[in-house]
Structure 1
Amino acid sequence: MYEPIRTRSVHSTMAGSSSDFPHRSREEELDIQLAGHLAALLAVTDELRGLAPSAELDEGAERLAQQVARLRGGLPPVRSTASTASTGTARPADPAVLHRRAHALAGRALVVAASRADTAAAILAAQQMDVHTAALEPRELASR
Structure 2
Amino acid sequence: MYEPIRTKSVHTMAAAPEIPHRSREQELDIRLAGQLTALLTVTDELHALATRTDGGAQGTGPAGAALDGAALDGAALAAAAERIAEQVARLSGGHYPLRAEPTDGGAPARIEALQQRAHTLAGNALAVATSRGDSAAMSLAAERMEAHTAALRDRDLATA
User: Aligned pair 1:107/2:123, yes or no?
Assistant: yes
Q: 1:63 to 1:7 in 2, by over 3 A?
A: same
**Alignment match of 1:29 (pick from 19, 27, 30):** 27
SS at match of 1:105: helix
Conservation of the 8 A alpha-carbon contact between 1:51 and 1:86: no
Q: CA RMSD in A?
A: 1.9
Unaligned runs of 5+ in 1: none
Superposed CA offset, 1:45-95 (max 9, x none): 001111113111011000000000110101110113xxx3133xxx54611
SS at match of 2:102: helix
**TM-score under structure 2 length normalisation:** 0.77
Superposition pairs of residues 1-144 of structure 1, within 5 angstroms: 1=2, 3-4=4-5, 6-7=7-8, 9=10, 12-13=13-14, 17-53=15-51, 54-80=74-100, 84-87=101-104, 92=106, 94-144=110-160
Conservation of the 8 A alpha-carbon contact between 1:106 and 1:129: yes
SS at match of 1:20: coil
Q: Which amino acid aligns with 1:38?
A: L
Unaligned runs of 5+ in 2: 52-73
CA separation in 1, counterparts of 2:6 and 2:116? 54
SS at match of 2:94: coil
**TM-score under structure 1 length normalisation:** 0.84
Max radius of gyration: which structure?
Answer: 2
Conservation of the 8 A alpha-carbon contact between 1:46 and 1:61: yes
Q: Give runs of ≥4 in structure 1 deviating > 4 Å.
A: none
Q: Which amino acid aligns with 1:46?
A: D
